[in-house]
Structure 1
């Protein structure tokens, strides 16, 4: 039995074509345990063939899933948001979910009310929070009060009670700084991101740790504040590169700022990397398209988003007796990508001993 021509397929049609009960179809769609994998695969195959989607009226029933995942962001870095959105969208689509993307101003006086209205209207099955919203106590309380599960991406702190996905920002920044030092650079400038972004402090911590571990002092005059945008990178570069004794390398806290440094250096007639090495963080699409291509850290934004969706639609099951409980805090691997924007320090910039 199949859906009539011209009419939307129903759960009855899915059950009939898959050769299972309506209850089994419902359990598969709601990601409930206890369904044989072969049966689950068959039901999902029929769902895809019939292009079945649960009715909104059924979704509104108490306890029913909406098959909607929310993604909340407030981030000036378009590359970060684009990567997260792509990964989350693809993972949602694989499981018959839809992603709803909303931008919230982190400092909005009524941000908790905005979240409450959003949850009441959408009834999402879960929310993904990106920085700095993932550290906003009012947003977190609004979601907690509405019993809406959420996963935090790159939060300032992790908790065994709150699912999160991140990379080791401190370690990644250490690796970038160690690379620059290994190339002979000692006068290294660092451009921080905004204070409300946890990654800003973590990446600076990694930079500072690497410098001190090599016996190099961190010159406060070479640490400049930015806001993760291209213009702030340009401004920081003009300030840093106009000094009588300028840095031989600049490590920017993200790629957008690093690209601003690259543009400013070229306007000032500096050759990169001959006169100035530049490194960034994130591996945004533009990082490999500019010349010279940017040395950076690949933060697996799409994979992080996919993991966040997975944690919402298929939460970890109870472990077997005696087995350790599964961690709700996932740390994904990063990768240092060494490209042409960094090179060994030329003789004229080396410190005499």
Structure 2
């Protein structure tokens, strides 16, 4: 490995001069800087990350806590896109990312201990059990943290505007004449609670009575469960005309259930999704859904985390809400 000393010997200057030139110090002439930079490039010199960490007290490494309980991993389109834009923005700011878990080789440790072991400058927490001891240990630690779709009082959170999303979807289906609306909600979480509250509020505003028997407990990213629950809803004597799904991926189970019962979407039953993933627009008919701005969520999370690391005195811990938009699709019939 090429060292600063190797460059200094080749160029006939001190190690200190080489260090100053490569780190942009102003007390080195431009001609000398260019000569040393050219030599470093030709010799294949790369700065040592551990040495830089000792000097700057920063590793330029961000930890990612990501545990998809549905087992989808990075095939989960919504979070995959959020993490991709987070990664791109973090890299543009000079940071690497490391996925953090509880084990390092055969050594057992908590997630917080792993963060310390990797010496990350900050952590983003997404798609995990936010009630777990592991998460609380990180939240209560001394590492800068940004969460996605969950709020802790003392940390910055990036939230999709779930209430507005539900309001826009309810507004759309009611304009299409629907008043008998069922909702298969996701597993209990801050997101599920906000969407359900948004659902009830939007219905109440429009004078729609919500039948408690039409509010079913489902799961995110679980088409098998929505398949079962959709068949249950459509087998009742008192059936809804429109069913809201936990997310677009789960909506595929509903489409299969409707088809298996000899019915069709939207002629016999209207289906509404959430997220706006690419798959939703490949269904026939295209799914009416709410497109979350995954790019902006990831970009905002990265910028906020970097700012918390680099400007802790002037960066506020806050809740930042990101709006999405309605995708009309063709899965909701006009029954006016």
Return the TM-score normalized by structure 1: 0.75
Partners of 2:27 and 2:213 in 1: CA distance? 66
User: By how many angstroms is 1:93 displaced?
Assistant: 1.9
Aligned residue pairs, count: 304
Report the counterpart of residue 91 of structure 1 in structure 2: 89
Secondary structure in structure 2 of the residue aligned to 1:221: helix
Report the counterpart of residue 335 of structure 2 in structure 1: 345
Partners of 2:84 and 2:327 in 1: CA distance? 22
User: By how many angstroms is 1:240 displaced?
Assistant: 1.1
Partners of 1:342 and 1:80 in 2: CA distance? 23
User: By how many angstroms is 1:140 displaced?
Assistant: 3.0
Report the counterpart of residue 74 of structure 1 in structure 2: 67
Whether 1:208 aligns to 2:200 is yes
Secondary structure in structure 2 of the residue aligned to 1:237: helix
Report the counterpart of residue 274 of structure 1 in structure 2: 267
Match of 2:146 among 138, 142, 151: 151
Judge conservation of contact 1:115–1:143 (CA < 8 Å) in 2: no
Secondary structure in structure 1 of the residue aligned to 2:169: helix
Change (3 A) 1:121 1:318: closer
Match of 1:336 among 323, 326, 331: 326
Judge conservation of contact 2:64–2:124 (CA < 8 Å) in 1: yes
Partners of 2:17 and 2:61 in 1: CA distance? 22
Judge conservation of contact 1:11–1:22 (CA < 8 Å) in 2: no
Greater Rg, structure 1 or structure 2? 2
Change (3 A) 1:326 1:149: closer
Deviations 1:113-167 (A, max 9, x none): 421331122111111111444454642333533x211001111x453x4211112
Q: Cα RMSD between the aligned structures?
A: 3.5
User: By how many angstroms is 1:298 displaced?
Assistant: 1.2
Change (3 A) 1:104 1:344: farther
Report the counterpart of residue 119 of structure 1 in structure 2: 115
Report the counterpart of residue 139 of structure 1 in structure 2: 135
Report the counterpart of residue 16 of structure 1 in structure 2: 21
User: By how many angstroms is 1:285 displaced?
Assistant: 2.0
Question: Can you give the 5+ residue segments of structure 1 that lack an aligned partner in the other structure?
Answer: 25-45, 106-111, 320-324, 347-353
Partners of 1:60 and 1:16 in 2: CA distance? 18
User: By how many angstroms is 1:192 displaced?
Assistant: 0.7
Partners of 1:219 and 1:134 in 2: CA distance? 30
Deviations 1:147-189 (A, max 9, x none): 211001111x453x42111122122112111211111111111
Partners of 1:188 and 1:213 in 2: CA distance? 14
Deviations 1:15-71 (A, max 9, x none): 6378x31899xxxxxxxxxxxxxxxxxxxxx9xx99986423225528621111111
Partners of 2:289 and 2:47 in 1: CA distance? 44
Report the counterpart of residue 28 of structure 1 in structure 2: none
Report the counterpart of residue 226 of structure 2 in structure 1: 233
User: By how many angstroms is 1:231 displaced?
Assistant: 1.5
Judge conservation of contact 2:101–2:111 (CA < 8 Å) in 1: no
User: By how many angstroms is 1:200 displaced?
Assistant: 0.8
